[in-house]
Amino acid sequence: MRVFKFGGASVKDATAVKNVTKVLEITGYSELLVVVSAMGKTTNALERIVESYLFGNGDLKDLTNNLKKYHFQILDELFDTKQHLVFKRVENLFDDLKTTLERNKSTQYDYIYDQVVSYGELISSTIISDYLNETGYRNEWLDARELIKTDAVYRDAEVDWENTQKRIVKKVNKKSLTVTQGFISSDKNNFTTTLGREGSDYTAGIFAYCLGADSVSIWKDVPGVLNADPRVFKNTQLLSHISYNEAIELAFYGASVIHPKTIQPLQRKEIPLNVKSFLHPNSEGTSVKKGQPLDPYTPCYIVKKDQILVSLSSLDFSFIVEDNISEIFSLFHEHHIKVDLIQNSAISFSVCLNDKFDHFEGLLGKLKAKFKVTYNTNVSLYTIRHFTEKAIQSLEKDKDILLKQITRETYQMVARD
């Protein structure tokens, strides 16, 4: 059995959805599970709906209606008649979204986020499943929330692997074509949770692990895994073959093509991962599997923007030692803030932080109670895996560098934007 994942760009409009059937025609669609993301920029639109609902940013009704129009335009282009049941199904999902907002009593942002943003995948997968059925690709639609069970940490849930595996093995027919959603899951009380932004890749990895799949293919709008983001760097190169270890390193440092959590479940069962272009399904793409070195052994450039560089020093000029560091990391964990770089000396400790849940202000107050704190917001963290002197010189040119660090294989630099 195989697992395919189609991201938002690969299902962003009617033409893209039709292209999914072309991919299935070329690759075959028996014994296949398809994981789909929300269409285009739908997740961003739903995030704006959450902001409007909680904080009054923008007109909630207009935001919802615009999102609805976007999806119904796609429906109009895919289906010959508005009498098709898919129109009613999508209408019902938008009604459910409205009801969710009307009945909600919680003021917790992360909880509301998951209940609302999850509709992107539900709507997308419904449209795609019905279109596939309409065009002869008979499939079963499954709700991933009934299959992937997690804890109740909203927006970054941890998978309950034992319960999840039992449910997936019981519900998924490995001999047929199945369509389900990426990114979404549920806790023990059946409230919707999500697996982290861009978590649909991880969903594919979860299904592949639980089903013992032969392979996972992630279909992207790029030729495969490149040595740099082509939107940021020029003259990028395709990496044809990557080991699991190298893929994990690249994902950890922020390479956007593969979600950081995706590789681990695949590596545990040695399931190959293919990253391929949905525009050119016959092209080679990138193969990630056991025992492969990075090919070619090329410098890989990664940039993470909107970071925070924090420097801590003791109030009494005492050393920053293990007890202090343990306390600091406990605070990072408590506030769900990810540490991307660490550098310390006898009396200071510097970290580059990713505050994806906007919890830094709460953290800052607690840090200031025990340390002298200086920080810079809106900085960028640049990483070069397999650096060369030429690569470093090129990257550092005209940058306002705040911190840099070099290890055997990796160069990192924090620079002011």
Mean pLDDT of the 280-288 span? 93
Task: Tell me the DSSP string of 78-104.
Answer: H-S-TTSHHHHHHHHHHHHHHHHHHH-
Q: What is the pLDDT of residue 137?
A: 98
Q: 200: pLDDT confidence band, cut at 50, 70 and 90? A: very high
SS3 for 219-243 is EECCCCCECCCCCCCCCCCECCEEE
- In this prediction, what percent of the chain has a pLDDT beyond 70? 99
Tokens standing for 156? 């970054």
Q: Would the pLDDT of 258 be above 60?
A: yes
Q: What is the pLDDT of residues 323-357, one digit of tens each?
A: 888 899 999 999 999 999 999 887 889 999 999 88
The CATH number fitting domain 300-416, selected from 3.30.420.40, 3.30.300.30, 3.90.76.10, 3.30.2130.10: 3.30.2130.10
Query: For the chain, how long is the longest CA-to-CA vector?
Result: 74
Domain pair 2-221 / 300-416, same fold: no
**Exposure string for 66-95, b = 16+ CB within 10 A, e = fewer:** ebbebbbebbeebbeeeeeebbebbeebbe
DSSP 154: T
Q: What is the pLDDT of residues 36-57, one digit of tens each?
A: 999 999 999 999 999 999 999 8
Q: Would the pLDDT of 293 be above 70?
A: no
Q: Would the pLDDT of 295 be above 60?
A: no
Q: What is the pLDDT of residues 224-242, one digit of tens each?
A: 999 998 888 988 999 999 9
Q: Identify the bridge partners of residue 35 per DSSP, sorted by sequence position.
A: 5, 180
Helix 119-134 vs helix 60-78: crossing angle, to nearest 10: 10
From CA 271, how far away is CA 225, in angstroms rounded?
A: 17
Q: 160: pLDDT confidence band, cut at 50, 70 and 90? A: very high
- What are the sequence ranges of the domains in the chain? 2-221, 300-416
Torsion of CA 304, 308, 314, 319, to 10 degrees: 0
Q: Which amino acid, 335?
A: H
CATH fold for the domain made of 2-221: Carbamate kinase (3.40.1160)
